Amino acid sequence: MAATNPSAGFEKEQIFGMAEKEMEYRVDMFNKHKESELNMGENSCIDRCVSKYWQVTNLVGQLLGSNQTPM
């Protein structure tokens, strides 16, 4: 019988909590933008940020998926 790590669930909660705070921070920054349109540099920055966000989201999903045990 394999031993389970009771702190693994807590670590996942911490990771998700940090990701949630990061998203709240980014949404707050976006909502504070006063101009009606983004300039080219801002669009480029957002594109890079969103790309990195999805890469990390996919990686976290893969890591969490590989750590789950079948019921």
Return the residue matching tokens 């921070």: 25
Spatial separation of the C-alpha atoms in residues 10 and 8, rounded to whole Å: 5
Q: Indicate the average pLDDT of the chain.
A: 81
Please compute the mean of the pLDDT values over residues 30-52 and round it to a whole number: 87
- Please choose, from the candidates 11, 40, 45, 44, the residue with its C-alpha nearest in 3D space to the C-alpha of residue 26: 45
Each residue of 6-26: pLDDT tens digit?
Answer: 566 778 888 888 888 988 988
pLDDT tops 60 at residue 2 = no
Please compute the mean of the pLDDT values over residues 38-66 and round it to a whole number: 90
- Please choose, from the candidates 19, 27, 3, 2, the residue with its C-alpha nearest in 3D space to the C-alpha of residue 63: 19
Residue 19 CB burial class (10 angstroms; 0-12, 13-18, ≥19): middle
